[in-house]
Structure 1
Amino acid sequence: MAMNLILLGLPGAGKGTQGDLIVKDYPVVHISTGDIFRANLAQNTELGEQARSYMDAGNLVPDEITSAMVADRLGQADVQEHGFMLDGYPRNEDQARFLDQYLQEHGTSVSATLYFEVSDDILRQRLLGRGRADDTPEIIDNRLAVNKAANLPLVDYYQAEGVLHTINGNGDLDGIYQSVKEILDALA
């Protein structure tokens, strides 16, 4: 059976880095919501045009459009064959419920949600170390607060679903990935 994974964690928690390692060792399709948006916009799909109207006005794209784009991507042959690893979706409980219903209708479910838990101090250090102009201490603290408000209900949601695996993301890259591999090897 194909493995269906969700990566959760605050900015700087290492989701992208760990995701890159996972796809090298496991046959899952890495799906980032950013990539889905860019593809729909570039191809001028109907969903992309709907999203563009919100984005051009400086508004968030509604869950219905985002979820429809994700569902479209999940329905493609490579995902059907190999499973997926979602990074950046779901972002709230409504999206999580949509995803669960979509997967149930297609005879599958989330295999595991990997939550990379990292202390605020280490997150700040990592984000400041990226050297981006918009990564000031004030902006970083706000970004972390906003993301905690979104992430923590999802952690609770997937804990209740019985698929949450919390990984200590404070350590070194190899140690963190060993924890990931232990979880994924147990699923295989």
Structure 2
Amino acid sequence: MAQGFHIGFLIALMTFSSLPSSAFATADDEQPVETRDFSIYNLGVEAYKRKDYAAAAAYWREAITQGHNAALNNLGYLTYYGLGMPASPANGVELWRKGAELGVSEAQWHLGIAYQDGKGVTQDLLQAYGWVRCSIDSATRSAAETNDSSRVETEQTIANNARETLLEITDAMPAAMLITARQRDLPCANGS
């Protein structure tokens, strides 16, 4: 399970760090919030690649205050696994929940896995099923809505990893629970 977390996380880091901050430039040469957010976010990515997890966490905390939602997923990952700080799965789950509720596909996937494993949260296969389904839907929609090929690749990878996780979850569910899971509204149906 942790291998899936790691692979998806690294792919997202590579994609976001490859996007130029000039993609958010304005005509009147003002530096919009998105540019500042993305630069702070990228500093976190670079620190993570150097394995300076404490610095990555600091940059991503700042990126979150500036509205960069993907940083919630990354800081959640560091917090959950104790990279650059003491491990706190419950706090990592809360960061993922915030990102998941904002439609961050990778945060939705990670939250689903946490529910599947019962780490940082009480095990709940119905919640796991719902959040992983949200991840698949969000990642597929994001891939379809962008013209950025690296973003498409990242979102497709997240969707594929989430599909594998969904199979694990459905294999662990009794038939009656699976029927219930398929009939319930997804937790992201209210806006994500």
TM-score by length of 2: 0.30
> Structure with the greater relative contact order (CA < 8 A, sep ≥ 6): 1 or 2?
1
Q: Which one has a larger percent strand, Structure 1 or Structure 2? A: 1
